[in-house]
Amino acid sequence: MPVKVPSSFPAAAALQRENISLTDAPSEFLSATKTVRLLVLNLMPLKIDTEINLLRVLSYSPLSIEIDWIVPQGHISKNTSAEHIEKFYKHFPNVKSSHYDGMIITGAPIEHLPFEEVDYWSELTEIFDWIPTHVTSTLYLCWGAVAGLYYYYGVPKSMLRQKCFGVFPHEVLDPTHKLFRGFDSIFYVPQSRHCEVRREDVEQVRDLTILSASHESGLHAIEARNGAQFFVMGHSEYAPDTLDAEYRRDLSRNLPIAIPCHYYRDDNPDNPPTVRWRAHGNLFFTNWLHAFVCNPNLAVE
């Protein structure tokens, strides 16, 4: 079944050019089965790109999906028009009385800031407190994962000496886990971050289970509350050219940036990227939707 989005949503036209099905039909015409309700807190600066990337990976599931998009109420986006935000986004007070089958909290390029200095930290912690009683399963991605681990479990953020940037091989530590059903023993994930959570810090928390990791880029997926929470370092939803755009943007600004690892063919930025993460990325999101978001045994508190 296609994901339901407004026909005027900019992501719709972009994804239709890739032969990805979306619809604006009323829910009752989509499927006789239950429609999955998702909430996405989009903290990324390029919100339309993030919408496209997330809708792409979510659309591979046969489920009927509806999505509400929210942004922090007190934060003004510098890279997405106010008209787009006003037309397609809500604020937390508009949705806090609702219940959702799943939620995604994106990353944000604010790793250099202490959490308490983020201008929407107070609102974010209110959302964090709300999630356990209103959402069945939540994906916390990249900075969203670091922030969630810090708030819920006291896991500290550790800054890296050099940006973790590229497409890295990762290993599934528990091949029987439903989130990694159908995965190869080694899979690739794009990374683009200046911080991490360290294994020794996570292993001190009894309620956290490490599911996957990389010898080069560190921890990847961490589970809590039997699948109600997944903290994920990396961006399996990234498009083929996302890291290239970040690399050339930083070059144009004369910022210190290394060539993304294992990304360009022959590690030469004059060559196109070698795309090796998308099949596993699609499977990752599909597994999450089917095994956890739609799990009747995984009830909210």
Q: Which residues are catalytic?
A: 142, 235, 237
Residue 299 in tokens: 């009830």
DSSP 8-state class, residue 26: -
Residue with tokens 């009385």: 97
- 3-state class of 223 per DSSP? strand
Alpha helices in the chain (DSSP H): 10-16, 47-58, 82-88, 92-95, 121-134, 143-153, 199-202, 242-252, 278-288
- Give the pairing of strands 229-232 and 186-196: unpaired
Contacts of 19 (CB under 8 A, 6+ apart): none
